[in-house]
């Protein structure tokens, strides 16, 4: 055996042993309940904007079920960019509130409601959602103070609608402005492998209606389904206990 071979083998062995020791030390961490819960089951998120008001408001903390749609590139922090597709993939349903990454910029997490699946035709007419050429049922509710949801003065009120999709999903939307910028759109046909998402605060949400900003969202960019508000703080930093519970 040459001196060079001896040198290579003598330096390789400590490195190999170091890697083995690190892996052994990581086993309790990788299989610990907090790690499994956070990385494979539910991931917590906080809501930083009012685009999903009144369903989700600034100060809400939510759990997103990561297993709901399978695991892909954005399911785990620091996942390599070459990963494609999803393991145990499942598509969302109409009305699901989901966390995802936009194809226009994958550095931020977004929360919106799924209103269109592959093959669906989506349009807004005078503020009403049109799904596959049929107006989605909506019922007017009593107006309430807008607060910060509409970006207006404190005395302003906001129109509310109870919107119900053909799937049965039912939720409340805000209508801050009559004939707003995004209240009338072209028809969008959702391509294969994508979905169309809207914010419940329809006049204050950058969503799939803006093709240059978000557009159609790849299914592979899904992170999880928002299932529950686990904590909430109001504008003064006080607990908002009445908001805790299931997300519809």
Cβ–Cβ < 8 Å for 116, 130 = no
Task: Report the distance separating Cα 111 and Cα 97, nearest Å.
Answer: 7
- How many angstroms separate the CA atoms of 201 and 205, rounded? 6
First to last CA, the chain: 70
Report the alpha-carbon distance of residue 149 to residue 162 in Å, rounded: 17
Burial of 208 (0-12, 13-18, 19+ CB in 10 A): buried
Catalytic residue among 66, 75, 102, 112: 112
Residue 51 designated active-site: yes
Distance CA 55, CA 188 (A): 25
The reply to whether 142 belongs to the active site is no
- Are 140 and 161 contacting, i.e. CB atoms less than 8 angstroms apart? yes
Q: Which of 108, 74, 69 is nearest to 89 (CA)?
A: 69
- Tracing tokens 């598509």 back to the chain, one arrives at 91
Question: Known catalytic residues?
Answer: 51, 112
């Amino acid at each position: 055996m040459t001196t060079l071979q001896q040198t290579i083998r003598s330096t390789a062995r400590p490195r190999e042993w170091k890697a083995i020791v690190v892996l052994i030390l990581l086993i309790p961490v990788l299989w610990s309940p907090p790690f499994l819960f956070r990385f494979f089951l539910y991931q917590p998120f906080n809501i930083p904007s009012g685009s999903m008001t009144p369903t989700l408001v600034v100060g809400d903390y939510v759990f997103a079920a990561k297993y709901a749609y399978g695991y892909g590139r954005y399911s785990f922090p620091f996942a390599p960019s070459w990963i494609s597709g999803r393991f145990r993939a499942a598509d969302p349903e109409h009305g699901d509130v989901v966390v995802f990454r936009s194809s226009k910029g994958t550095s931020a997490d977004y929360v919106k409601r799924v209103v269109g699946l592959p093959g669906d035709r989506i349009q807004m007419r005078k503020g009403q959602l049109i799904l596959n050429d049929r107006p989605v049922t909506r019922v007017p509710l009593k107006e309430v103070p807008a607060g910060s949801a509409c970006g207006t003065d404190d005395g302003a009120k906001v129109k509310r609608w109870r919107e119900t999709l053909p799937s049965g999903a039912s939720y409340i939307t805000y209508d801050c402005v009559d004939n707003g910028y995004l209240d009338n759109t072209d028809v969008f046909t959702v391509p294969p492998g994508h979905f169309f998402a809207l914010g419940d605060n329809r006049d204050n949400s950058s969503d799939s209606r803006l093709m240059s900003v978000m557009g159609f969202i790849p299914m592979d960019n899904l992170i999880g389904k928002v299932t529950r508000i686990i904590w909430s703080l109001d504008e003064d930093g006080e607990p908002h206990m009445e908001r805790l519970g299931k997300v519809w």
